[in-house]
């Protein structure tokens, strides 16, 4: 389980995350909901270790990982698919998968992991030898998700995986996320600007506003609380 306690992230005078506490449980999809600039990416980057928090604590299964470097967190089972499509554009789909696999040095067979990826996303098998930069946005997101999950990490952090994608692709991506989370002790933390999208896939949601938690609750409660109110009050009317 992931536990974040009183986390603060700042860039000079800009306080991006101001004392946020949250948990993400195995078998659950936890959503971070908030408008542009609310602090979602900063919070996620602090959890994976890419950004150093000013204060607060990050615990993974009770172990304090706040000061552990990102590559070690990755080997402890933390995977982070960042916003902005981090893939090797000049390399093929296959090469991207190989790179992602070896970076984590997991046990098990690369071939079996790749077969599982191709079974989930047959289009990636068809395009295995194509340069990743030539894939459509949806195919790139499938590749990113595959790269983040093929070694079966226990905590997967997904920064706006639906951004800019057609609804049918979003549905496919969310189905994959749900299925991934239903196996073993895996937790997913996902960020979304659109509350209605996030609550479709998540079990629990935290709403961030200006770097602080505005409120939290299970998806049903947040939905019953009124998406319209949620959106206009906290998400800038989206
Ligand atoms: P988005 O959906 O646009 O990614 P977000 O909710 O993820 O938004 P953050 O990207 O975490 O929000 O940004 C929170 C605040 O921190 C914003 O005011 C942003 O301008 C600022 N910020 C983010 N990254 C940096 C940085 N590297 N240097 C300075 N300020 C930053």
Q: What are 157's two structure tokens? A: 């952090």
Whole-angstrom distance, CA of residue 154 vs CA of residue 1: 9
Range with top average pLDDT, 25-34, 106-115, 219-228: 25-34
User: If you measure from the C-alpha of residue 42 to the centroid of ligand 1, how many angstroms do you get, rounded to a whole number?
Assistant: 6
Q: Is the pLDDT of residue 198 over 50?
A: yes
User: If you measure from the C-alpha of residue 9 to the centroid of ligand 1, how many angstroms do you get, rounded to a whole number?
Assistant: 10
* Model confidence pLDDT, tens digit, residues 118-128: 999 999 999 99
Q: What are 162's two structure tokens? A: 């639906």
Measured by CA distance, the residue closest to atom 29 of ligand 1 is 11
Closest C-alpha to 140, from 190, 87, 180, 189: 87
- Provide the mean pLDDT of the chain: 90
DSSP string, 141-186: HHHHHHHHHTT--SEEEEE-TTTT--HHHHHHHHHHHHHHHTSSS-
Please state the atom number of ligand 1 nearest to the C-alpha of residue 42.
11
Any residues with Cβ below 6 Å from ligand 1, and which? 11, 14, 16, 34, 36-42, 83, 193
Average pLDDT over residues 190-216: 91
Domains (range + CATH), the chain: 2-82+154-235 (3.40.50.300)
Average pLDDT over residues 205-230: 84
Please state the atom number of ligand 1 nearest to the C-alpha of residue 43.
11
Q: What is the ipTM of this complex?
A: 0.95
| Total-model pTM | 0.91
Gyration radius of the chain's alpha carbons: 17
């Amino acid at each position: 389980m992931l536990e974040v306690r009183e986390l603060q992230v700042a860039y000079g005078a800009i306080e991006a995350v101001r004392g946020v506490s949250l948990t993400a449980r195995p078998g659950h999809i936890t959503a971070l909901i908030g408008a542009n600039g609310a602090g979602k990416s900063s919070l996620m980057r602090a959890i994976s270790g890419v950004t150093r928090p000013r204060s607060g604590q990050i615990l993974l299964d009770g172990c304090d990982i706040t000061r552990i470097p990102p590559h070690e967190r990755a080997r402890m089972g933390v995977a982070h698919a960042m916003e902005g499509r981090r893939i090797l554009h000049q390399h093929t789909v296959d090469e991207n998968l190989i790179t992602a696999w070896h970076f984590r040095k997991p046990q098990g067979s690369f071939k079996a992991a790749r077969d599982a990826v191709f079974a989930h996303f047959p289009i990636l098998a068809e395009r295995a030898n194509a340069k990743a930069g030539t894939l459509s946005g949806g195919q790139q997101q499938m590749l990113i998700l595959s790269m983040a999950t093929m070694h079966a990490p226990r905590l997967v952090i997904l920064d706006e995986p639906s951004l800019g994608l057609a609804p049918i692709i979003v549905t496919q991506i969310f189905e994959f996320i749900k299925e991934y989370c239903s196996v073993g002790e895996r937790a997913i933390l996902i960020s979304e600007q659109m509350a209605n999208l996030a609550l479709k896939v998540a079990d629990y949601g935290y709403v961030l506003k200006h770097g602080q938690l505005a409120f939290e609750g299970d998806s049903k409660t947040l939905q019953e609380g009124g998406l319209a109110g949620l959106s206009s009050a906290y998400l800038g009317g989206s």
